[in-house]
Amino acid sequence: MSTDLATHSAVLSSAKAILADLVRFDTTSRNSNLALIDWVEAYLAQYGVKG
């Protein structure tokens, strides 16, 4: 497997995992979205992004 293909595969796998995590959140408008916000904040903090 070439490096480009391996990188693409890793990125795709990571994106699928992130999307799977995100769609698990109940974001019905009558409910709080704080759990989703906390998850995104923690995820971005891993990359040095501060909320």
User: Are the CB atoms for 39 and 21 separated by under 8 Å?
Assistant: yes
What is the C-alpha to C-alpha distance for residues 8 and 13, in angstroms, rounded to an integer? 9
pTM confidence score? 0.77
Six-digit token pair at 44?
């971005």
**DSSP H/E element including 5:** helix 3-23
> What secondary structure letter does DSSP report for 30?
T
pLDDT tens profile 3-48: 898 999 999 999 999 999 999 999 999 999 999 999 999 999 999 9
Is 1's pLDDT higher than 70? no
Dihedrals phi, psi of 7, to nearest 5 degrees: -65, -45
